[in-house]
A and B are shown apart, each in its own frame.
Chain A
């Protein structure tokens, strides 16, 4: 057992201390900046979000208790204490609003990414759940009752909705069902049946668009050195490493080149 592991287990033990609140706040802030800066949806930080929601709930209770005690007529005898109490309340409320703003901004940004590339994420989640995704619609080409809704994949077998949260998956399915129904009613219904799908890949070109992992991001290197990787593709089967970033450096690089390092916490998105 490494000394790092021992330290890690000590750090991990208690999540109710003020120090862990500070750490979670820093993690949430960093995740917010990353989610805002990257074109694709980042994996949902389930444990962090649960801890934050729990803290927000407790903080609201604390504030309500304080506010109740300040307006309580039976305790007005210590009125010289009131100015500090009001100051304390306003500080606590400002702090709460700042955290709520972060949470709201993260959720809204994620919903915006989801609705922009809804079919992409639906297909990604459903293909991760079933090993043979291609056989979902065996006779889709000759089915004369083809409706746009039929292109929404079956999500009943999905156990792990990553990178989405389960609420986001529910939202996405409902959103896409409504959208497909609307498209069908407004114009796709008058098309020939074989042209009504929303995930057509006739001619080898898929009509489902996803985020571009090659878009650039601004990152800061936080460890001794991080290489910018070029993922396999275009005939090259292995991952190659390009430029090397050193500690403290700020770089403009492709997101696909630093995604792995970001997941390990070695770079941060700016």
Chain B
């Protein structure tokens, strides 16, 4: 009974993670720079904007010491555009709308370019590629590059809900935003449900199911069900898989096996 929680981070833990996202604030009072365990915090000098972790921004907001500038994607216009992509766009009928690109990944406009991942180095010499919640996906942008469709960040539901909760007076149109977030959530939940059919692929060795564009909370919600179904299917199909592997070993011994003919259809949902 050392630890009662199930495998995989639970919704409260996902919110905890989302509170590490950086947001833009407009401070109302001065505060010198601090050196936190989570990294340095820049000095607050009104009226200059500053980027802070969400938990700190909410702490200052609740004490009326700062205003939070909502991230670009949380504007009703952006949200309705994303909702349109999710519902109307033929390409994304069974898939989530594309997530914001990682550093080094080409944006949606120039899709033809090859991604180049640029690592940082850890003190132990390992490679480290930053990912959400440590990317500036929720900071306010003054000018949006033209032709760039808005996209939902990984922690969209948590950040959106927390900002609506604590800083609704800073948002452009909180009621409309709340309604759009709810609609997006329903559309995307329906996509997860309809994708159950392809889970069989993830239960075979070397296979997998793509969920690109999924949000953190959606992973948290679906984790128990998806992992349970896939593990159940794997146990049912264990003898079939073993037979397939033995057949493969035989083919390899006869010298004619081509590894690429393995059924690795990457179905998305």
Q: Do A and B come from one complex?
A: yes
Interface residues in chain A, defined as those with a beta carbon under 8 Å from any beta carbon in chain B = 4, 7-8, 11-12, 15, 18-27, 29-30, 33, 36-39, 47-48, 51-52, 55-56, 59, 84, 87-88, 90-92, 94-96, 98-99, 101, 105, 108-109, 111-112, 115, 214-216, 218, 220, 222-224, 228-230, 233-238, 240-254, 257, 264-266, 268, 270
Instruction: Decide if A251 touches B209 in the complex (CB within 8 Å).
Output: yes
Q: List 23 A-B contacts (CB under 8 A).
A: A22-B39, A25-B37, A91-B36, A91-B41, A92-B34, A94-B56, A94-B59, A95-B36, A95-B37, A218-B211, A228-B207, A235-B245, A241-B259, A243-B206, A243-B264, A244-B264, A251-B210, A251-B212, A252-B230, A253-B202, A264-B126, A265-B126, A266-B129
Instruction: Decide if A216 touches B227 in the complex (CB within 8 Å).
Output: yes
Encoded as 1 (CB less than 8 Å from any A CB) or 0, chain B from 1 to 16 comes to 0110101110001001
Complex Cα distance, B38 from A228, in Å, reads 33
Sort chain B's interface into a size bin: 35 or more
Complex Cα distance, B185 from A92, in Å, reads 35
For the complex of A and B, 6 pairs with smallest distance between CB atoms: A242-B206, A22-B39, A112-B3, A235-B249, A234-B245, A18-B40
Instruction: Decide if B39 touches A111 in the complex (CB within 8 Å).
Output: no
Interface residues in chain B, defined as those with a beta carbon under 8 Å from any beta carbon in chain A = 2-3, 5, 7-9, 13, 16-17, 20, 29-32, 34-41, 55-56, 59, 63, 65, 99, 101-102, 104-105, 114-117, 119-131, 133-134, 199, 202-203, 205-214, 216, 219, 223, 226-227, 230-231, 234, 241-242, 245-246, 248-250, 252, 259, 262, 264, 266
Instruction: Decide if B214 touches A250 in the complex (CB within 8 Å).
Output: yes
Residue of B nearest to A216 (CB): B230
Instruction: Decide if B202 touches A23 in the complex (CB within 8 Å).
Output: no
B124 to chain A, nearest CB (A): 5
